Structure formats: C-alpha cells, structure tokens
Amino acid sequence: MTETKNSKEYQICKQCIMDTSDPDIVFDANGSCNHCTNSIIRLNKEIFIDPIIKKHNLDKLINNIKQDGVNNKYDCLIGLSGGVDSSYLAYVAVKQFGLRPLAVHLDNGWNSELAVENIKNIVNSLNIDLYTHVLNWEEFKALQKAFLRASVIDIEMLTDHAIGVALYEVSKKYNIKYFLSGYNYQSESVMPAKWLYPYKMDSLNIKDIYKKEGDGGLKLKTFKLLNFYQYLTFGKNSMALIPILNYLDYNKKEALKIIETQLNWRNYGNKHDESIFTKFYQDVILPQKFKIDKRRAHYSSLICSGQMTRDEGLEEMQKELLSQQDYKNNLSYFLKKLNISEGEFQTIMDTKPRLHWDYRSFAKRKFKIGKLYRAIFK
C-alpha cells in the first residue's frame, strides 16, 4: 500500500468522513484514511467475530464477575453520566446480566437539568444504588480557567482525571474488582491522537498548568492528585476495566430506543449534551479555537461499524453545531458560571493553542526513565 502524508491541501477520506483537520491523517492510494482502515481491521478482529465465541466470552466474563463478588453488596462498578452509552450499560448490566452494580456519578457542577433527571430515572427504574462524587466547585472552576488560559486542548482531562480517582476510591472502599466501562469500539473507534491528551491520570500536568496559569489565589485542597508512584501503579492489581459493550452487538439507535422506553430516559439531541461544559467545549471551543469538530470522528466510527452511511455522515456534518441564539445563550451561561469577562474569553479564543507537553508531566518523566532503563540494560 502506498501511503502519502497529507500536504496542506484539503482532503477527505473516501471511506469515512475524516479529513485533514487531523494533521496526522494519512491516505492510501485509494483515498482511504488510516483511521477507518485501522478501525475496520480491529472491528473484524474483535467485534464482528463468530457469535458463538462472542457469547461464550461474555458468559465467562459475567460468571467471573458474579463469582468474585458473591460476598459483596455490589459485584461491579459502572460510571453513570446520563449519556446514551452509560445509561444503556446500566440497563444491560442489571436486566440482561443480572449484575448488582454500584453506579458512580461525578458532579463537576456542569450537569444539565435533564441529565440529573435522567440519572434519577435510571437509578429508580433499575433499583440500583448511586454514589455521587461532588467536586468542590471553587477549585474545579479555578482549574478549568487555568486550562482555558493555558490553551491546551484537553480541558476535559480534569473531569476524566476526577472520575478516575473517584472510581478507584469507591472500588477500594467496597472491594469491587470490576469496572464496566461504557467505552465501545462500535461508536468510538476513530479518534485522532492530537484531538486529546491521552494521559488522563497525569496529575503533574494538571498541577503544573494550574501553577503557571491559575490565578494563584486558591490552593487545591480537595481535588485529588496522584504522586508519581501512584501514577505509575494507577489501576494496577485493583480493578479490571471491562468495555462490556464491545461484547454485545451494540447499536446506538437501538440502545436509545431501549433506554427511552425502559428507563424513562429523555434525549438531549446531541452526543454529550448531558454536560453543559462538554457541549460548549465541543460546539464552540474545539471547532473555533482548535479547528476540530468531534462529530467527524464520531460519525466516522459509526460508518466503520455500519451504523451510518457515509452520505448520512456528510449530511449530518452540514448541520449547524449551534444556532446563533443557542450560541448566545450558551456563551452567556458559560461566562457567568466561570466568572470570565467577554474580553478575557476573546483573548483565550485568540491565543495560539499550546501542547500539554509544554508543561511538566508524569508521562514525559515515565518515557525518560524508560529510555534510560533501555539504554542501560539493553
């Protein structure tokens, strides 16, 4: 296969809808990109396998979870954001597999009212316990503002880091060995590496960004950060992370129908609109400042798994992310909540993006140690 690195000219994949908004995209001689090519290989290897083998693997897994948790109040943890994937996951865990999950939710201050209501309905319909970890708003606000000023791409890293820590602590407290994650390859296989910072538990990165870009007025007293040893050993030997939806024939449209009818779940309209921050981040900050429209990766994933056609994906991309009125409303809510002036917001949006790597990081330290180790012992 002859591969050509993209030039600056615009190009869109002929198989999915990824394009040169990913600076690292590579197209083959037929015009297919690295994302869908790799996704389809992995889907065929891991997802679209013999249904008998798939069922066997799933049964074995569920049995292990049940057996290991037989003496515990809960046999697994699930994260509950109120979005489609996690809501459906809660449904199958209880109704299909007969598991006894403890649902964990992180309240970072940005839940939409509908998300709160959806979570309440899910928990009531399934009769499961909910543990809500509430972040200290003043600290979280100061952290988000520091990340905005730093102009790094992954502001959601703060939420992901906090969820990671909360899950880990709850698993210890209740001696729960399995975390059923809503991550699924069917709708999330395409994601360019540069569209996020993959080292979500990199506490040093968060600490350094806060130190350099925060306003210095508030000490982080409750937002838990890991030390280097905890970073290296995070999640090891404690809790197994199971992307359970990958074991099922997960179909987003069907999942949506089930949670609507069975859990009184109501639709937000778009992916991730359960969080007002995530919505603003994906509809305004990413496209306007970083020139990234995450829908492109999401629809490409669905195209790869056969849940959307390429034409449907292209048509969806024509739709406005936000109407002018929605933009105005969301912007004023966002500025008021974070206590940012319009002027400062404009400066943030105009500042050239910087890399997470420009700040201190545990990930960088780990690579350096690994390199040194290999140089000595090779």
Given the rule CB under 5 A, which residues bind Zn ion? 13, 15-16, 18, 33, 36
Tokens (6 digits) for 122 = 């899910």
* Closer residue to Zn ion, CB minimum distance, 15 or 205: 15
Q: How far is the CB of 28 from Zn ion (least distance, A)?
A: 9
Closest to Zn ion by CB, 18 or 176: 18
Residue closer to Zn ion by CB (options 16, 90) is 16
> Would you say 80 and 120 are in contact if contact means Cβ atoms under 8 Å apart?
no
- Could you tell me if 13 and 32 are in contact, meaning their C-beta atoms sit under 8 angstroms apart? yes
What is the nearest approach in angstroms of Zn ion to the Cβ of residue 13?
3
Residue 11 beta carbon to Zn ion: minimum distance, rounded to whole angstroms: 11
For Zn ion, the closer CB: 128 or 190: 190
User: Smallest distance, Å, CB 83 to Zn ion?
Assistant: 25
Cα 263 to Cα 253: distance, rounded to the nearest angstrom: 15
| Between 40 and 128, CB nearer to Zn ion | 40
Query: The tokens 């790094």 sit on which residue?
Result: 152
> In 3D, which of 224, 109, 104, 230 has the Cα closest to residue 167?
104
Of residues 28 and 139, the one with the C-beta less far from Zn ion:
28
Q: Which residues pair with 33 in a beta bridge?
A: 27
Please say whether the dihedral angle defined by the alpha carbons of residues 51, 53, 56 and 58, taken in this order, is positive or negative: negative
Strands 101-107 and 3-5: unpaired
Nearer to Zn ion, 33 or 297 (CB): 33
Measured from the CB of residue 264, what is the shortest distance to Zn ion in angstroms? 38
Least distance to Zn ion from the beta carbon of 42, Å? 13
Smallest gap from Cβ 19 to Zn ion, in A, equals: 9
Structure tokens at 332: 């004023």
* CA Rg value for the chain: 21
CA distances from 344 to 30, 91, 335, 339 (A): 46, 43, 10, 10
Q: Report the distance separating Cα 335 and Cα 345, nearest Å.
A: 8
Smallest gap from Cβ 256 to Zn ion, in A, equals: 25
Dihedral (Cα; 327, 331, 337, 342), 10-degree rounding: 180
Q: Which amino acid is at 210?
A: Y
Residue 69, both tokens: 């948790």
* Strand blocks (E) in the chain: 3-5, 26-28, 76-79, 101-107, 129-134, 178-180, 240-242
How is residue 186 written in tokens?
């069917």
Q: Least Å distance between CB 25 and Zn ion?
A: 8
Smaller CB distance to Zn ion: residue 28 or 107? 28
Which residue matches tokens 């179909």? Answer: 251
The full DSSP string for 214-241 is S-S----SSS----HHHHHHTTTTT-EE
Residue whose CB is less far from Zn ion, 18 or 43: 18
Closest to 358 measured CA to CA, from 213, 186, 171: 213
Question: Nearest distance from residue 31's CB to Zn ion, in Å?
Answer: 9
Identity of the residue, 110 or 299, whose beta carbon is nearer to Zn ion in the bound complex: 299
